[in-house]
Structure formats: C-alpha cells, structure tokens
Structure 1
C-alpha cells in the first residue's frame, strides 16, 4: 500500500520539445501555489510598508505632476486637446503596471532562490505571480484616474467597454517580456541591475509623455510593433476620446506580445534546469 502511494505521488521531470515544453497542465495543477504567491506579494507590499496602499497612488500621481510641469507647461507637448494632467495619467496607469510587473518578475527567481533549491514546482509561477500581484496597484490607480476624469468633467466613450481587452494585452506583454528577462536575470545579474534604466528608456519608446500622433506617418507601423503603444493609445481613446481607437496598433500588439509570451516561456522552460545551480 505504501509502495503504491509512493508511485502515485512521484513526480517525473523530463525534457520536452516544442510547445509541449510549456506544459500548461502543470501550471494548472500548481494554481494554488500561484494564488498563494500572489497573496504573499500583496500582503508583504501593503502590510510591511509605512504607506501601504498609498504607494499605488503616489507613484503615478507624482509622475503626473512632474510630467505636467515639465512636458505640459514648459515644453508645451501636445496632448491631443485634453488637459495634459489627465492625458499623461491615462498613460501612466497602464505604464506603471507594466514597468512594475516587469521589474518584479525579472527579480522573482533571484528573490526566491531558497525555494528553488529546496523543492520542485514549476518555476514559471514566480514571474507570473508578479504579473498578477501588480493588478491590485493597477486597479487602485484606475479608480484614481476615474476621479481625475470626473474632476475635469470628462466622460468615457462607449469604447471603455474594450478596457478588459487592453488589460489582457498589457498583461500578456508584461508576461512575455518578463519571461525573457527573468530567465536571463538569474544567469546574468546585470539584467536585474539595469532594469530601472531599461524601463526608463522603454517609457520614452511608448507614448507616455507625448501622443502617438507626433510619430511621422512612415514610421507608425514600426512604432506600433511596441505592444504598449496600442495599450496606452487605446486607454486614451476609450476613456478620453482624444483619438480614434487604434485597432491596428492593438492587433499588432497582440501578435507581438503573443510571440514574446510563447518564445519567452519556451526559453524559460529551456533554462529551467539550471536555475537551482545558478540561483
């Protein structure tokens, strides 16, 4: 009886090729661990910090103030007819989520090295937990955006119903790039050390402080290959009505982010066998 029980609970780790290497069924089996890690991340962030939930408000709010003073008032950057404060905040809500999820997921393996060495579980749940945990901050910032829009008397357009689609694109992009960076960061620590600098550069490659309408027409297609372009311009179109819905950018964004997610997950799985040795 004991021998049969041991066989039923045995976990066989084998190398798989192609899309079979993703082994999504294993992630489903460990969903309770994913939920626990998400809850732990939220609890640590809010229960063990002085400002708690305030951090989810301070980061985008202070960025909006700085951007409004520098780019809106001094540089006179065009805001497609909307007040620059709400124009920039509508971009900062998805961008802050994306940048924080990317930074957290890149350091998730290094930060949980003890777990990796002691017990087997699909390592992919670590970067995924960072992506899901940051949704709390995103929701808080989204409520704040609604308050700012009410202050300026801005009513969302009917395209606000597409926000769940844009949120999925935002999360898929963070997951795809996060998988690549997570697998690279545990082997090359320079990746984690340079994350703040890289994220800052990436912000200026997306229409956070400026509208996408400033991009010359011949470069729009290439510019739209950045999935966050469709997300940010989609938020502005849906909530502020400053521009038409960027369906082309959103479609290209889904294609690119899906490619990044699949290839990133495959690369992650391929490097998974060395994580415990180099963590």
Structure 2
C-alpha cells in the first residue's frame, strides 16, 4: 500500500469512527454553520496534522539539503535586494542595518504569500482525495497554512539569530507587536486561501491572478523601502490621502509591526504610523471576521468540487 492509499484509508477510518458517511457529509456541507464546521475540523485534527506532515515531507522528498531549501530562497532574495536595491539604487540610505530590515520584511511577507499561494492550489492538488473520500474541504487550505507556518518559524529563528549576531537585538515590549502582526497575516492569508482555492476549482485563471497579485503586493509593502519614504513622496505630491489607503493595507501594517518588534523602527528615529498597535489590533480582528465570511463562501462553493475536478 503506497502513501496515497494509506492516506485515503486513514481518512475513511476516521470518518467511520465518528459515524459520518460520505453522502451525508456532502448533503449537509452547504448548510452547516461556521462553528459546526470548526468542530468537524477539530474532530479531524489528526487528518490535518497528517496533511501538513505529508506536504512538508513531499516538498523535500529526495532532496539532499532538505529543510535548508526553506532558507535558500529568502536568503537569495535578501542578497539580491541588498546589492541591487540597497547598494546600486541607494535604497539603504537613511535605513541602518538595511540587510536586517529587508530580511525582517521578507520573513513577514513570506508567511502571507506562502499561505495564499499554497492555499490557492490546495484543493486542485488534492483532487484524488476530494473525489474519492469525504473530508472537510477546509482541511486542505488549512494544511497549506500549517506548512507555511512551519517554514515561517524556521525563518523567524534564523532572523533572530542574525539580529543577535549583529548585536542589534533589544529586548523590549516592542516584541508584543509580533502577536497582532502574525494574527493579521495568517487570518487574511487563510481567508484569501479559502476563497481562491474554491474559485480555482471553477476558474483556472485564478492561479495566474494570484501569482501576479502576490508579486505586486510585495512591492506595495514597505519591505525594500521605509514607510517614511512613502509618506514624504505622497505629501510632496499633494496627495496625503493616498498614504491612508497605503497604510490601511493589512500586509503593510503587519510588516511595520515586524519591523518595530525586531528591527526597532522608532528606536532608530524613523517614523511609523500613529497608533500602530491599535491599527494592527483592528486589522487582526477584521482578519478573523474575514475568515468566517470566506469559510461561508467556501462552503457554498464546495458542493460541486468533485464534479468539477
């Protein structure tokens, strides 16, 4: 019995135990509420854990470097941006420890982009399970989120190591910014993953759209430049209202939260938006509400997944 067959067998066994048949699960999928869906996901948490482990193992299967590849991409991006954007284009002027500044932003944005990108294809990539076995379909975007969090923790560990080695680590209450920032990134990322994964089943152009959107959103976040630079540009251009729109972006707020917590924006005398913690907390709460709304849309769309796949 190969790995896929074992996975399907485990899925069937788990649902036999709780007395839920394949057909009854499908017939009631559209009418269950968010909290009943959550209870079902919690009931099948072992299945979710299995999917996350499978994704991590399959990603690095037959790789001699294994998890090291998790670091190679962001570190390569760091080197390119540091040299090209920082040195050649002069973006590092006015931003001390520019390499740490970039890596902080890349670590935060990498979590969001991996949740959205991985979650978008999660249903399609598991078409065999979706067509043959009833499991809560939300498990697949959630598994992509779990994999992204695993990779994020590795990168965050490396980031803290770099900050410690550079001698710039400051143990302060600013670290509390990490909590609402991570909640915001995960909640909005999961909400988009639920929506896009469902739409991707019916419209394959969604995959190309997500690729472009993820690329554009990275440049629309203060990763390679500072928030203060944006403020100065839009103010001198006479369009200060554009700064409010730019700052309202949940990803922008989360990146700023990471920078304040790890890089120490205010300690270095650089500006940040007023009441950043309040804005981050509001964004985190809004993100959780978006997850609920996205799950309801996902539930309405999942009824024909097997036929479309």
The alignment's TM-score, normalised by the length of structure 2, stands at 0.81
Q: Does 1:193 align with 2:208?
A: yes
Q: Shift in Å at residue 80 of structure 1?
A: 5.5
Identify the residue that residue 3 of structure 1 maps to in structure 2.
none
Q: Shift in Å at residue 48 of structure 1?
A: 3.2
Structure 1 unaligned residues grouped into runs of 5+ = 1-5
Further displaced range: 16-25 or 119-128: 16-25
CA distance in 2, matches of 1:164, 1:156: 17
Contact (CA 8 Å) 1:228, 1:253: kept in 2 or not? no
Q: Does 1:231 align with 2:254?
A: yes
Q: 1:9 aligns with which of 19, 43, 51?
A: 19
Structure 2 unaligned residues grouped into runs of 5+ = 1-15, 232-239, 267-271
CA distance in 2, matches of 1:203, 1:131: 19
Q: Shift in Å at residue 269 of structure 1?
A: 0.7
Q: 1:31 aligns with which of 37, 45, 52?
A: 45
Indicate the SS of the match to 2:190.
helix
CA distance in 1, matches of 2:93, 2:128: 48
The 3 A distance-change label for structure 1 pair 56 and 80 is: farther
Q: 1:97 aligns with which of 83, 102, 111?
A: 111
CA offset digits 1:35-87 (Å, max 9, x no partner): 11011111112333343111111111111111111221122225763211111
Contact (CA 8 Å) 2:115, 2:144: kept in 1 or not? yes
Further displaced range: 81-90 or 148-157: 148-157
Indicate the SS of the match to 2:248.
coil
Contact (CA 8 Å) 1:231, 1:250: kept in 2 or not? yes
CA distance in 1, matches of 2:209, 2:241: 32
| RMSD of aligned residue pairs (Cα, Å) | 2.4
Identify the residue that residue 163 of structure 2 maps to in structure 1.
149
Q: Shift in Å at residue 141 of structure 1?
A: 0.9
CA distance in 1, matches of 2:114, 2:125: 15
Q: 1:87 aligns with which of 94, 101, 107?
A: 101
Q: Tell me the matched-pair count.
A: 274
Indicate the SS of the match to 1:224.
helix
The alignment's TM-score, normalised by the length of structure 1, stands at 0.89
**1:50-61 correspondence to structure 2 within 5 Å:** 50-61=64-75
Identify the residue that residue 250 of structure 1 maps to in structure 2.
280
**1:145-224 correspondence to structure 2 within 5 Å:** 145-158=159-172, 159-216=174-231, 217-224=240-247
Identify the residue that residue 77 of structure 1 maps to in structure 2.
91
Further displaced range: 255-264 or 268-277: 255-264
CA offset digits 1:139-176 (Å, max 9, x no partner): 11112112221232211341214423322222112101
CA distance in 2, matches of 1:15, 1:101: 24
The 3 A distance-change label for structure 1 pair 74 and 130 is: same
